[in-house]
Amino acid sequence: MQNIKNIIFDYGNVIFEINFKKAQEALAQLGIANIEDFFAHKTHNTLFDDFETAAISEAQFRAGIRAAANNQNLTDKEIDAAWNSLLVGVPPTIHDTLLEVRAKYRTFLLSNNNVIHYKYIISYLDREFGMPDNSSLFEKTYYSQDMFLRKPNVEIFKKVITENDLVPEETLFIDDSPQHLVGAKQAGFHTLLMDVHPRELGSFLKKHGIL
């Protein structure tokens, strides 16, 4: 890590704990069958990709959930609650760790996200930490729904490179999804697979010589 000057962090299960099992259970309770095929960590219905790239609206996403559940009576509130059950929260001291990293490197956030989750996260950060958003923790934040692209598409990484004049060989990308590291490697980045709980981010970074 001696030549690393820039670090790009994923958000879910790197910084913010997420639980796919909870979301699977909640979506199944709405009436969605074959939940492992419909929504999982590594594979999911195209409905989710479309929502994360803003190809469909919140209303269209909810309509897709109603169709999958074969229940047109599901309310927006019920659908949002099931979808947001994925989001657990930020462990203590993580924000301090990120500020420590930012003092040594140029840091960025690159997250596959969507409007419903983003609204929940913003509300959560304000409620729990008194923060309006994530902007104080990074030089710049990138969310798929704003970029109309999602990881592991190599183009999303190239866009971050171009907009910030990054040298790929000097850039490290950290993500908990192996499939996302593939696109980062194609863009020329160094990569690390986050294979521990987000609460261990500090020790993970020290183990790999970043802090």
Alpha helices in the chain (DSSP H): 20-29, 35-38, 46-52, 58-69, 76-84, 94-102, 115-129, 144-147, 154-164, 178-186, 201-207
Q: In the chain, what percentage of residues exceed pLDDT 70? A: 99
- In this prediction, residues 77-94 reach a mean pLDDT of 97
Q: Which of 106, 103, 112, 100 is nearest to 165 (CA)?
A: 106
Structure tokens at 68: 């999958």
- In this prediction, residues 23-30 reach a mean pLDDT of 96
Q: Is the pLDDT of residue 1 over 90?
A: no
**What confidence category does residue 42 fall into, taking pLDDT thresholds of 50, 70 and 90?**
low
Q: Is the pLDDT of residue 17 over 90?
A: yes
Q: How far apart are CA 44 and CA 134, in angstroms?
A: 27
The average confidence (pLDDT) of the chain is 96
Q: Is the pLDDT of residue 208 over 80?
A: yes
Q: How far apart are CA 49 and CA 93, in angstroms?
A: 31
Handedness of CA 26, 32, 34, 38 (dihedral sign): negative
Q: How do residues 160-206 score in pLDDT, each as one tens digit?
A: 999 999 999 999 999 999 999 999 999 999 999 999 999 999 999 99
Exposure pattern of 99-109 as b/e (b: 16+ CB <10 Å)?
Answer: eebbeebbbbb
Q: How do residues 87-142 score in pLDDT, each as one tens digit?
A: 999 999 999 999 999 999 999 999 999 999 999 999 999 999 999 999 999 999 99
Q: How far apart are CA 178 and CA 118, in angstroms?
A: 23
Q: Is the pLDDT of residue 67 over 70?
A: yes
| Contact between residue 85 and residue 26 where contact means Cβ atoms under 8 Å apart | yes
Structure tokens at 17: 């704990």
Q: Is the peptide bond before 168 cis (omega within 30 degrees of 0)?
A: no
**What confidence category does residue 158 fall into, taking pLDDT thresholds of 50, 70 and 90?**
very high
Q: How far apart are CA 189 and CA 171, in angstroms?
A: 5
| Contact between residue 139 and residue 108 where contact means Cβ atoms under 8 Å apart | yes
